[in-house]
Amino acid sequence: MADVTAKRRGRPPAGGREAILKAALELLRERGISRLTTREVAARAGVSEASVFYHYRDRAGLLREAFAEGLGPLVALKDAGAVSGPDRRKVLKRLGEAIERFLEQALPVLTAAQSDAELAEELAAYMRENDLGPHRGVRILGEYLAEQQRDGLIRADIDPEAVASMFVSTCLTRAFQATMRLPKRSLPPLSAVIDSLDRMLEPGGGPPPV
Amino acid sequence: MADVTAKRRGRPPAGGREAILKAALELLRERGISRLTTREVAARAGVSEASVFYHYRDRAGLLREAFAEGLGPLVALKDAGAVSGPDRRKVLKRLGEAIERFLEQALPVLTAAQSDAELAEELAAYMRENDLGPHRGVRILGEYLAEQQRDGLIRADIDPEAVASMFVSTCLTRAFQATMRLPKRSLPPLSAVIDSLDRMLEPGGGPPPV
DNA sequence: GTCTATAGGTTGATAGAC
DNA sequence: GTCTATCAACCTATAGAC
């Protein structure tokens, strides 16, 4: 949130603050929030425990910034996906994989916050304010599908946003599976989902019944 | 796991054990796992703290049983859904709502375990052994769709399991949204999803393009 | 089976020197 | 900004009486 471009006066920071945040995020993803003690964070960051409190005031303050940091990449999701072009299957593949990648980073952070009701409510408020959540992906894909629908590339009798929510949800489930340490292969591969969905979206409908 | 039907000898249990488990599960869902201390559990259950250790050996033992208890209703999912009949929309609605209801109870438990890497791995092993997870719902719905497909009620050019995973995932996302204390209405309603999906599954395909 | 009392250990946070 | 030293609070778990 700070202005990185402005020239700084005085002694440049030693990087302790960033090291602490990085250590906290690593610990959060690797060992879970209950093992994220200020002691461990300090040890991994290579600073003393008091530094943690100097920079972030208290444990909750550190967690708050770690959550925001962990959810950050979501902002760049739209550009990364490059959700445009006539090749629908390609768009679905690109966007789907991008969502999945992002969620595999973000879900551990989201679930970690649920360990404490207060933390969870605080994070939820932050997400509501910044309009974060699965609906973001749904909206991005929904707009693309609506555009294709206007161009007659998608059948007219479906709700683009509803279909988008199905696809984004599929990616979420896959990322969820991975986050919960369950085997992804117990679910059908994303390519199969894209296959079927693409056919069902075709304007002419499927082949005539046998 | 104990045989409830067998007649018991001796003094009947006072119900302390059950009260403790119930209190633990409540605390888990209401306030998160980090506030689930043996003190609080004992207080809410109306017993002494030592009773908790007498019945469950240690905190981990209590959590293990609470997790199993919280995931229990999944077993009854198939029967509850009554996944059969020619009215596809009705089946989707019933099953979808059942999955959503179940997950809104189970997700808090699943996410709670993620607070500690060891706990998470232990729960994951339990779920793998007992074949639990989102794929269960996918399989149930997939079989129903495959059956409809054989009967010519669903277009032949789609993968039933892939479509099933999309629908089940939609329910999971909705439950996830609720668990994370985010507004469900930022997602399209389930009825809209069922609407579009049902049309896309129709054997003849959609109406001819304008 | 349930209780009281307490040991033993970990954690978040502060004070004050450098 | 960073450190060492320290504290008060809290938690899990055990011992032993009833």
Burial class (CB in 10 A: 0-12, 13-18, 19+), B128: middle
Residue located via tokens 């277009």: B155
The model's pLDDT over B89-119, given as tens digits with 9 standing for 90+, comes to 999 999 999 999 999 999 999 999 999 999 9
Residue-level pLDDT at A79: 62
Is the model's pLDDT at B208 over the cut of 80?
no
Nearest nucleotide to B12 by CA–C1' distance? C1
Q: Which of residues 34-93 of A touch B (CB under 8 A)?
A: 34-35
Q: Bin A46: left if φ > 0, else alpha if -120 < ψ < 50, else beta.
A: left
Q: Kindly report which listed range (A4-8, A63-67, B32-36) carries the lowest average pLDDT score.
A: A4-8
Burial class (CB in 10 A: 0-12, 13-18, 19+), A15: exposed
Measured CA to CA, the distance from residue A131 to residue A30 in angstroms comes to 27
For the entire predicted model, the pTM comes to 0.91
Residue-level pLDDT at B204: 77
Alpha-carbon gap: B12 to the closest alpha carbon of chain A (Å): 36
Alpha-carbon gap: B6 to the closest alpha carbon of chain A (Å): 36
Higher pLDDT, A75 or B24: B24
* Residues B67-96, mean pLDDT to the nearest whole number: 84
Per-residue b or e along B144-168, where b marks 16 or more CB atoms closer than 10 Å to that residue's CB: bbbebbeeeebbeebbbbbbbbbbb
B36 CA – C17 C1', rounded, Å = 40
Nearest to A190 by CA among B197, B189, B162, B75: B162
Measured CA to CA, the distance from residue A160 to residue A145 in angstroms comes to 6
The model's pLDDT over B26-57, given as tens digits with 9 standing for 90+, comes to 999 999 999 999 999 999 999 999 999 999 99
Are the C-beta atoms of residues B166 and A166 closer than 8 Å to each other? yes
The model's pLDDT over B131-189, given as tens digits with 9 standing for 90+, comes to 999 999 999 999 999 999 999 999 999 999 999 999 999 999 999 999 999 999 999 99
Question: Highest mean pLDDT range out of A189-203, B8-22, B77-91?
Answer: A189-203
Higher pLDDT, B85 or A11: B85
At B13, which helix (H) or strand (E)? none
Cβ–Cβ contact A5 with B under 8 A: no
Measured CA to CA, the distance from residue B83 to residue B103 in angstroms comes to 18
Measured CA to CA, the distance from residue A120 to residue A112 in angstroms comes to 9
Cβ–Cβ contact A153 with B under 8 A: no
Residue located via tokens 């996410």: B111
Measured CA to CA, the distance from residue A206 to residue A185 in angstroms comes to 28
Higher pLDDT, B7 or A73: A73
Is the C-alpha dihedral spanning A190, A195, A198, A201 positive or negative? negative
Residue-level pLDDT at B6: 40
Are the C-beta atoms of residues A200 and B172 closer than 8 Å to each other? no
